[in-house]
Each structure stands twice: as structure tokens, then as C-alpha cells.
Amino acid sequence: MKTHLIYLTIIAIILMMTCNRNSNGKDITFKTKEVRGAFRIDTVTVHDTIKLPTVTYRNGKVIYKTVIDSIDYAIVSKATKLVDSFKQQNDSIKLAMFIDKSTPKNFTKTFDNDTIKVNIFGKYSGEIYGIGMNYTIKPQTINATLKQYTVFLGVNTVSNPSFSNTAVLPTVSYLNANGLLISGGKDLLSKDGYMVGASKSVWSRSRVKAK
């Protein structure tokens, strides 16, 4: 029995090495569905103040500086200029500037590319009151190569009608990505009985059904 297992192992290795040389797989194409979703306008509960970098000097040299990105820096710089301008104006202009900045307004912004479209919207009055969004994930065509490798272990028997000549063959079968099935086995009832076979898929059908 040990000898038969060795034979089967050798056959399995030879089958896999042979079949893998030209296993290109099966090209498949499928399309995804469009997905839509939305988040209703919700209040903004956290308002952090953006600050200019903190710089620490020693002997006239900078020894520590907090990090601030370019967008934050631009916002703070603009706000600083606005405050300085506000301080220099007369009361009527100050009132007009205050009304302009505190008037309730809507805002929207759309981000769109090949895969997704996002609409961001909200309301503000001096500060952001609420923000929401809706999105559309666009259908995509996906091309892929399907590769599936399967090893089968089984037993085959061959006999005449009177069962006077019978063979019992433990069999190893290997199905590669191209649908080629190659089988090999060793007859347990004879010393030099071997079996090798090959099969090729001539028709198949696969279905993918979305849940």
C-alpha cells in the first residue's frame, strides 16, 4: 500500500507540473450596479480654532515650530486680514460686514470622477450649522481572469461482465484553469497496471446572480 501511495504522489506531481505550464485561465467580464446613498444634513458639534504655527526661539534661532498645512495657513491669513480691515472701518461698514458674514446661506460642492460622484451640501450662518451629502457609485466594467485549480482523489474499477478480470485503481485527477482534466492511477490488483487519462470540457454554463 505504501508503494501505491508513492506512485500516486509522483503521478499527482507530474500532472500538476504538466498542466500548469499553459494554464492561462478563463477571461471573464462583469458589470457592477449603480449604488446610491445619502446622509441627511446634521449639525456640526465640533468647531476647532485654526491657529498659526507656534514658534519658539532661542538666541534668535527657531528651535520649535508647530506644523500647519497650506490650506489652514491660507484660511488663517485671510481671516487675520479681514479682522484687521474690520477694525479700521466705520460703524456702518462694520455693520454691513457683520450682516454679510452672519446671513444664513446654503453651500454645495460636487466631486466627480470615473467611479463616484459626491455632492456635499450644508448651511452656515457665521459658522457651519449642518452638513450632509449624497453619493452615486457608478457602474463599472471589470475584466478578470478566472483561475481555478482542483485535485480529485477517487477509486475507479474496470471489469468484464463476469468479473474475471477486474482492476481497482486509486486515482488522482487534476483540473487546471483551462478546464483540462488529467487523471492517473495505479491498479491495486496487478504489479504493472497503470492508468492515465485526459478530458477537456466541451460545454459549461455559469451564472452569477446578485442577492
Average pLDDT over residues 97-114: 87
**pLDDT value at residue 121:** 92
Q: How does pLDDT run across 78-89, given as a tens digit for each residue?
A: 777 877 887 888
- Select the highest-mean-pLDDT range: 13-17, 60-64, 134-138, 155-159: 134-138
Q: Does the pLDDT value for residue 4 go beyond 60?
A: no
Domain assignments of the chain as residue spans, ordered by start: 2-31+144-200, 35-138
Average pLDDT, the chain: 78
Task: Report d(CA 12, CA 82) in Å as an integer.
Answer: 79
Residue-level pLDDT at 85: 81
Residue where the block lists cell 479700521 = 88
What are the residues whose beta carbons fall under 8 Å from the beta carbon of 108, sequence distance 6 or more? 119, 120, 121
pTM above threshold 0.75:
no
The residue type found at 46 is: V
Grid cell at residue 186: 495505479
Gyration radius of the chain's alpha carbons: 37
Residue type, 103: T
For 108, the enclosing helix (H) or strand (E) is strand 105-112
Count of C-beta atoms within a 10 Å radius of residue 183: 20
DSSP-based three-state secondary structure for 46: coil
User: What per-residue confidence (pLDDT) applies to 46?
Assistant: 67
d(CA 128, CA 106): 10
- The per-residue DSSP string of 138-199 comes to PP-EEEEEE---EEEEEEEEEE-TTSSSEEEEEEEEEE-TTSEEEEEEE-TTSSS-EEEEEE
Q: What is the pLDDT of residues 175-210, one digit of tens each?
A: 877 778 888 888 888 877 878 888 887 777 766 665
AA letter at 13: I
pLDDT tier at 150, thresholds 50, 70, 90: confident
pLDDT tens digits, 14-36? 655 555 555 566 777 888 899 99
CA of 145: how far to CAs of 17, 21, 177, 181, in Å?
Answer: 20, 16, 10, 19
Output the pLDDT for position 211. Answer: 58
Q: Give residue 171's identity as a one-letter amino acid code.
A: T
Give the pLDDT score at 11. 60
Identify whether the C-beta of residue 52 lies closer than 8 Å to the C-beta of residue 73.
yes
